[in-house]
Structure 1
Amino acid sequence: MTAPPGRSAPPPWHPRLAEKLREIGRDPGLAAACRRGRSTEPFTDFDMSSPLIYVLEGDETTEPGAYVPRWQREAVAVATHHVLALYACHIQSKDAGMHRYGVSLGTATRQLQAAMPSKDGAANRLRAALNSDTVSELAEHLRFLSSLMRTYAIAVDYISLADALACWEDPDQRTRLRMRWNMDFRRTPPKTPADPAAPQE
């Protein structure tokens, strides 16, 4: 995978996670195993260990640390576990995938806010997520948001969400993510072209 000019290449585990997200949409058994991960910790569910190992380590011929550096392994394992579980719930009973590159949590929540009848329901959920201090707390709030997004068929970038979960314990990274998601939520959406058939005032 070649990175755009001026941008670093994505870590090797990104395309492997994207592959597993696609597989969840095709394999009901894998999707069910990942949904069970909502209430478990990484590597404590036998069936969910397989996709986790695939993303983190490959197979017995893969050199240790080839996909995820050893110093980052635990954080990426926790993030991947939560993302696989969240996505499996998000895509349940859906014909189309719910992973969209470039759609941040803030952007997706803004779309959710526009779709919901409740004026501040989505905003309150995002505010609670932004106030999370731990990965487990953030994941809990993401479960509520992804459930609502499933209801309104709103997709989100699950690869960038995994990145966010992996670095959430770092205070500086957490501050940057809070700012970015807040800005994306507050950003004014592009105006739709006026209907030429509509009467002019």
Structure 2
Amino acid sequence: MRRFFSRDVAKDLGYFVNGRIFKLQNEYTRRDGGTPSSRAALARLRRDLDGGAPVWMSIGADLFEDWPQTLPSAEEDPAALRAAKTALELYALHQQSRRSGVAQGAEDAGKNRMTFGRACRLINPDTEHANGVKRRLQAVEAAPDFNGVVRNVRSLIMLMRTAGDGAITLDYRSLAQDLYQIQFPEARGEVFMRWSMDYSSDAGTRSRRS
């Protein structure tokens, strides 16, 4: 079992999750209403996020299909599995009933990557009146375990779904990496530092308005 955060694992995990998400997104947002398999997969992933215990046999193909050899097994690094599973489930919640993709595409990333902190800023760009968003971000940082982190991140994803025109996108590659890193005490502070910097800076809101 891995006891220390690995940047190599985080990088490979982010690319794997992004690939899985964009496969689902491309199928779900097709002009013909999406494929039945993509709709079913998103429904399974949302249902598992709601449950008290994972239904592994239900979501196994959605999660483990094409699991790369560069990533450790669940026994070697359970934090990687938890991060991948959670990122996919949060995406499924975010995408629900949206006909346009909510996962940020590579062509829109680069310097304007919609990290979790920047996406949270867009829920209410007027930070003086965004106390609810700030409280939830503080609750993520104060959560005593990973389940608490997930509950509070989920509440922010729900706000992204309903804010304004509901078109806030998110870089899920970045989020998957953060969800992995946040599980290691020696590395979690770096995640919250980035989220705070991205939330407090207005760079994301400027790029959205331009």
For the aligned pair, the TM-score class normalised by the smaller chain equals: 0.7 to 0.9
Partner of 2:189: 175
1:9/1:83 CA distance change after superposition, 3 Å: closer
Q: Which runs of 5+ in 2 are unaligned?
A: 1-7, 29-37
Give the AA of the match of 1:137: G
TM-score normalized with structure 1 length: 0.76
TM-score normalized with structure 2 length: 0.73
Q: What is the DSSP-based 3-state SS (H/G/I as helix, E as strand, rest coil) of the residue aligned with 2:97?
A: coil
Asked which structure has the greater CA Rg, the reply is: 1
Q: CA deviation at 1:15?
A: 3.2
Q: Which runs of 5+ in 1 are unaligned?
A: 1-7, 58-65, 193-201
Q: CA deviation at 1:116?
A: 9.7
Q: CA deviation at 1:39?
A: 3.0
**Aligned partner of 1:110 among 116, 121, 125:** 121
The structure, 1 or 2, with the larger RCO (C-alpha pairs under 8 Å, 6+ apart) is: 2
1:42/1:166 CA distance change after superposition, 3 Å: farther
Between structures 1 and 2, the one with greater helix share: 2
Q: CA deviation at 1:107?
A: 0.8
Please list, as runs of the form range in 1=range in 2, the aligned pairs for 1:62-77 lying within 5 A after superposition: 66-70=69-73, 73-77=77-81
1:10/1:77 CA distance change after superposition, 3 Å: closer
Q: CA deviation at 1:172?
A: 2.3
1:7-48 Cα shifts (integer Å, max 9, x gaps):
x89744433322221233321011111111213478633221
Q: CA deviation at 1:74?
A: 1.1
Partner of 1:63: none
1:106–1:181 CA contact under 8 A, matched in 2:
yes
Q: Distance in 1 between matches of 2:9 and 2:88?
A: 22
Partner of 1:150: 161
